[in-house]
Chains A and B, each alone.
Chain A
Amino acid sequence: MGYAAARGGLDAIAAAEDLVRDARDLADSPWLGLDQLIDRQRLAVDRVMGEGGLWDPRLAARALQQAEGDTVEASHLLRSYRATLPRFSYSHPVDMDDAKVLRRIVPAFRNPPGPQLLGRTTDYTGRLLDRTDDDLARERAEKRVMESTFDADGDVVSNATDTAGSASSASVGLGDRRHRRLLEVLRDMDLLVDRRRTDDPKPVDITRAAVRPPALRSAVLATMARAETGALVNLWYRNILGPDGYIHEVTLGEVRHAELPVTVTHPHTGGPVDIGVVRATEVEAIEDLDGADEDRTRFDAGYGLCFGHNEKKAIAMANLDIACHRDGGGGNGGSELEQSILMTTDGLDASGFLEHLKLPHYVTFRSMVDRKMAMRAAGRSDTAVDGAPVPADPREGDCA
């Protein structure tokens, strides 16, 4: 961008920044620490990690703390910090079948392989503002935990690990929290278009160079994995409603919140080393194919995966993945939808452009005023002046 930066005002800028810091750091209320944010504002911390493209709950909580709760700003801080770090390596590719579920629902099938595990959710709870006193809420929670830990006789409730197929609260057990996918059932029934690749192309690294359409699917998926949640949801909603000419009938196959192992190569032995886990939300969206050149006897599926627990984002991503594929994107030559995904869903890109509008634009606006005055003088108040320099892309314009 060709900024002609304004000068001066440093004292006022410093004083304004102090107002933010002082109000945040010296407020009368108890300090909101990192542990509180991680424990009690889990979804916000997860969202920051997802949109920042960086897994570290403590750093994400610190960013959220500094940004006064603004998740996009916090993601920006996280990405700025990330830019200061060296990259050591790539992890071994995680086969998503190795992820251990914390929650897993299959809206398309009543009895999928493995359990329908609600996990930690308020999906089935009325959206009513809970005004219960904090102390009373804590007291009730402690009672609930006590009752689930000890039975009426005061004995510890058995926590013996069950296995798939054993009786528990439902007929299917938790097993090792790795469960066969609905996709495999559809494949067994020959109801799924087989797009499995036998080669193993190197994924596009979107952190090294900006991605522009047409792009490979790995670039589109990586872009959506760190896209801003609201942007993806909006794009999905527009897509599903059809104003752009697309109509999609999608059913969700898998919705999972799961733990993924992080495995790297040991530099001395060359062997794999598991160094921990990250949590991610995974969604498979099953699409009813109805195009003239499509196999109408089968379904196809889209895929969504993002850091943390963020089902809205993963659902939108999975739907957009299959929509993009059907529309000719994701390595099939490019499409308008692919362009929208790549160019408009990054939170930093969008909010950065938006926020810059608050910077002084004195020179550009004075130029616009001059043009209006010139047009008026020439008696041409409703048409543009021929030859007036108009930037082709407003983001290329000067700001001063």
Chain B
Amino acid sequence: MAVRELAEHCLRLLGEPVIVTPPETGIVMMQVREPIVRERFHLGEVVVTRADVELAGHRGWSIRQGTDRVATLAAAICDAAAQSGGEIAADVERLCAETARSIERSEADLATTLRPTIVEFEELD
């Protein structure tokens, strides 16, 4: 179940949310610490969208990369629902676990494609 479907499912069970902060697109300044002087500097900014809701007495917050306002709002609703306990919280946990497994699979696939490019060059005498 994708995050939007799960959010709709949450709303059917828990009722209408209060939108504390509607989905809003903005930027996060990316800070890095370089390894030579161990000094921070700004690499650039990242576009994100965030939302804040209250559902069944629980606050839910979400922030995602990109400009997808619907998915951001859906994630905030799921975050609030996860705190309500019961079966609906388990559904949210399942989605999170499935997402984590999907990331692991992508990581393994990536390793498979990268591994043949490991090289040991020979030195010429």
Report B-chain residues with C-beta under 8 Å of the C-beta of A173: 115, 118
Contact, CB under 8 Å: B28 / A94: no
Report B-chain residues with C-beta under 8 Å of the C-beta of A200: 40
Asked whether any CB of chain B lies closer than 8 Å to the CB of A284, the reply is yes
Q: Which chain B residues numbered 5 to 61 have a C-beta less than 8 Å away from chain A?
A: 24-48, 50, 52, 59, 61
Bound together, the chains give a CA A120 to CA B114 distance in angstroms of 8
Asked whether any CB of chain B lies closer than 8 Å to the CB of A400, the reply is no
> Chain A, 358-399, contact with B by CB distance < 8 Å: what is the 0/1 string?
000000000000000000000000000000000000000000
Asked, given contacts A82-B27, A91-B31, A94-B30, whether A278 binds B46 with beta carbons under 8 Å apart, the answer is: yes
Report B-chain residues with C-beta under 8 Å of the C-beta of A50: 44
Chain B residues close to A by CB (< 8 Å): 24-48, 50, 52, 59, 61, 63-67, 108-121, 123
Asked, given contacts A116-B118, A119-B114, A267-B61, whether A91 binds B28 with beta carbons under 8 Å apart, the answer is: yes
25 contacts between A and B (CB under 8 A): A53-B44, A53-B45, A54-B27, A54-B45, A55-B30, A82-B27, A96-B33, A96-B34, A117-B119, A120-B117, A148-B112, A148-B116, A159-B108, A197-B39, A200-B40, A202-B40, A203-B40, A222-B41, A225-B43, A225-B44, A260-B30, A262-B30, A275-B63, A302-B36, A303-B36
Q: Which chain A residues numbered 253 to 308 have a C-beta less than 8 Å away from chain B?
A: 260, 262, 264, 266-268, 273, 275-276, 278, 280, 284, 301-303, 305-307
Report B-chain residues with C-beta under 8 Å of the C-beta of A260: 30, 32, 43
Bound together, the chains give a CA A398 to CA B102 distance in angstroms of 59
Bound together, the chains give a CA A173 to CA B116 distance in angstroms of 10
Contact, CB under 8 Å: A90 / B44: no
> Chain A, 82-126, contact with B by CB distance < 8 Å: what is the 0/1 string?
100111111111111100001100000011000111111000000
Q: Which chain A residues numbered 154 to 201 have a C-beta less than 8 Å away from chain B?
A: 157, 159, 161-162, 168-174, 177, 181, 183, 195-197, 200-201
Contact, CB under 8 Å: B65 / A275: yes
Report A-chain residues with C-beta under 8 Å of the C-beta of B111: 159, 161-162, 174, 177
Asked whether any CB of chain B lies closer than 8 Å to the CB of A221, the reply is yes
Which 4 A-B pairs give the minimum distances between C-beta atoms? Answer: A56-B47, A159-B112, A218-B41, A118-B117
Contact, CB under 8 Å: B36 / A284: yes
Asked whether any CB of chain B lies closer than 8 Å to the CB of A205, the reply is yes
Asked whether any CB of chain B lies closer than 8 Å to the CB of A248, the reply is no
Asked whether any CB of chain B lies closer than 8 Å to the CB of A132, the reply is no
B67 to chain A, nearest CB (A): 7
Bound together, the chains give a CA A280 to CA B32 distance in angstroms of 11
Report A-chain residues with C-beta under 8 Å of the C-beta of B115: 162, 168-169, 173-174
Contact, CB under 8 Å: B29 / A225: no
A319 to chain B, nearest CB (A): 13
Contact of A118 among B31, B32, B65, B119 (CB under 8 A): B119
B100 to chain A, nearest CB (A): 11
Bound together, the chains give a CA A360 to CA B59 distance in angstroms of 57
Asked, given contacts A218-B41, A221-B41, A268-B59, whether A85 binds B47 with beta carbons under 8 Å apart, the answer is: yes
Contact, CB under 8 Å: B36 / A117: no
Contact, CB under 8 Å: A203 / B42: yes
Report A-chain residues with C-beta under 8 Å of the C-beta of B40: 93, 200-203, 218
Report A-chain residues with C-beta under 8 Å of the C-beta of B25: 85
